[in-house]
């Protein structure tokens, strides 16, 4: 957390896109865009947040440069400058604020502040200190090992089935592996597996081509729905989305399945809390 829909929501807001409230939602906090703004200074408030380069190199590289674009790759927020790219991984607790430059020193867990010539600042806040920032001239230095984007045209039902069939791993750890498909995390993996009727411990090699196609459709559907609803707000870190009100299995342990009424169960898969319906998602151990 945040996962692909949450990072995409942040990226869209930073591109000056206006996100309209959706039905039955609380008011959505908006973030002013940063595209076109020119950097005046950089302040690093916790040294380990910045992986590369040094603060001095970072400042000398982007000071005076305008933000050309803001995007996303997997769970990475991508900010483009002329000749270089900044990657930010929010990890467990990272968040972004865009606000007028403050004279009060900012908030307790601010880790990096990029100030612009028009009096606005971009702030990376990260209470748990797991988030990281890179500035590189070659994006492959950071994202070269990432797998397919879930919405890539190259990721077809056939190619997805080949990926699954070639490994003996269980399906949930496979989906969480960012070198396979980039952007999925615990929430959207559990939701997609439920929609596809697959138990989280199903061996990948036991998944048929039809099941693979169904799973890929389910992945894309839950991600699209998550983006439409501005992500899921399930703690004090990421705020503004309401996809949490539409979970079918995630964090619904003991509640009735919306399809069959069986109680949702929780187990641990690959050290991750995992939610599923034992009736709708029967375990098939065929290898």
Q: What is the DSSP string of 181-210?
A: BSS--HHHHHHHHHHHT--TT-BGGG--HH
Question: Is the per-residue pLDDT at 214 higher than 50?
Answer: yes
Strand locations in 82-137, DSSP E?
84-89, 95-100, 110-116, 120-125, 132-136
pLDDT in tens, 45-73: 999 999 999 999 999 999 999 999 999 99
SS3 70: strand
Span 154-158, mean pLDDT? 96
Model pLDDT, residue 104? 86
Give the mean pLDDT of the chain.
Answer: 92
From the list 91, 134, 126, 132, the residue with the least C-alpha distance to 2 is: 91
Query: What is the percentage of the chain residues whose pLDDT exceeds 90?
Result: 83
DSSP secondary structure code for residue 201 in this structure: T
- Choose between 230 and 156: higher pLDDT: 156
For residue 287, say if its preceding peptide bond is cis, omega within 30 degrees of 0: no
Residue 27: per-residue pLDDT: 44
Confidence (pLDDT) at 32:
75
pLDDT of residue 20: 40
The predicted pLDDT at position 92 comes to 85
Give residue 140's pLDDT. 98
Q: Distance (Å, rounded) from C-alpha 1 to C-alpha 9? A: 13
* Residue of 45, 27, 269, 277 whose CA lies nearest to 172: 269
Catalytic residue among 97, 169, 220, 272: 272
User: Pick the catalytic residue: 12, 31, 73, 75?
Assistant: 75
pTM for the predicted model, two decimal places? 0.91
| Residue 103 banded pLDDT, cuts 50, 70, 90 | confident
Q: pLDDT tier at 250 (50, 70, 90 boundaries)?
A: very high
Catalytic choice (3, 6, 8, 191): 3
* Mean pLDDT calculated for residue range 236-240: 62
* Res 28: pLDDT: 45
Closest among 97, 103, 100 to 116, alpha carbons compared: 100
Average pLDDT over residues 162-176: 97
Active site residue 272: yes
Domains of the chain from N-terminus onward: 32-143 (3.20.190.10), 157-276 (1.10.8.50)
* Per-residue pLDDT tens over the stretch 123-133: 999 999 999 99
pLDDT score of 105? 78
Q: Is the pLDDT of residue 217 over 70?
A: yes
Q: What tokens were used for 25?
A: 């939602």
Looking at 2, 173, 200, 203, which residue is catalytic?
A: 2
199 close to 267: Cβ distance less than 8 angstroms: no
Q: What is the percent of the chain with per-residue pLDDT over 70, rounded to a whole number?
A: 91
d(CA 83, CA 62): 10
C-beta of residue 135 within 8 angstroms of C-beta of residue 53: yes
Mean pLDDT computed over 88-111 = 91
Predicted pLDDT of residue 284: 79
115 flagged as catalytic: no
Q: Sorting pLDDT into bands at 50, 70 and 90, what band is 237?
A: low
Residues 6-42 pLDDT 10s: 999 999 999 974 444 444 544 444 457 999 999 999 9
2 is known as an active-site residue:
yes
Q: How many residues make up the chain in this entry?
A: 287
pLDDT of residue 17: 46
């Amino acid at each position: 957390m945040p996962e692909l829909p949450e990072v995409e929501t942040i990226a869209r807001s930073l591109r000056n896109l206006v996100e309209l409230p959706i039905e039955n939602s609380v008011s959505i906090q908006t973030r002013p865009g940063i595209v076109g703004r020119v950097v005046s200074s950089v302040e690093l408030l916790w040294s380990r947040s910045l992986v590369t380069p040094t603060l001095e190199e970072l400042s000398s590289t982007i000071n005076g440069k305008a933000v050309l674009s803001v995007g996303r790759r997997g769970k990475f927020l991508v900010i483009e400058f002329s000749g270089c790219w900044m990657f930010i991984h929010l990890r467990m607790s990272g968040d972004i604020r865009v606000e007028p430059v403050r004279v009060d020193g900012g908030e307790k867990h601010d880790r990096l502040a990029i100030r612009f010539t028009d009096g606005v600042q971009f702030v990376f806040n990260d209470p748990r200190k797991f988030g990281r920032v890179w500035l590189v001239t070659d994006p492959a230095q950071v994202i070269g090992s990432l797998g397919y984007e879930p919405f890539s045209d190259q990721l077809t039902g056939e190619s997805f089935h080949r990926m699954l069939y070639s490994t003996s791993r269980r399906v949930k750890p496979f989906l969480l592996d960012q070198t396979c498909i980039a952007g999925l995390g615990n929430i959207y993996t559990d939701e997609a597996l439920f929609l596809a009727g697959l138990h989280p411990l199903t061996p990948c090699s036991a998944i048929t081509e039809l099941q693979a196609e169904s799973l890929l459709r389910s992945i894309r559907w839950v991600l699209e729905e998550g983006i439409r609803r501005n992500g899921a707000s399930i703690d004090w870190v990421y705020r503004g989305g309401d996809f949490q009100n539409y979970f079918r299995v995630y964090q619904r342990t003991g509640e009735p399945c919306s399809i069959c009424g069986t109680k949702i169960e929780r187990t641990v898969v690959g050290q991750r809390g995992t939610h599923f319906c034992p009736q709708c998602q029967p375990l098939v151990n065929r290898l």
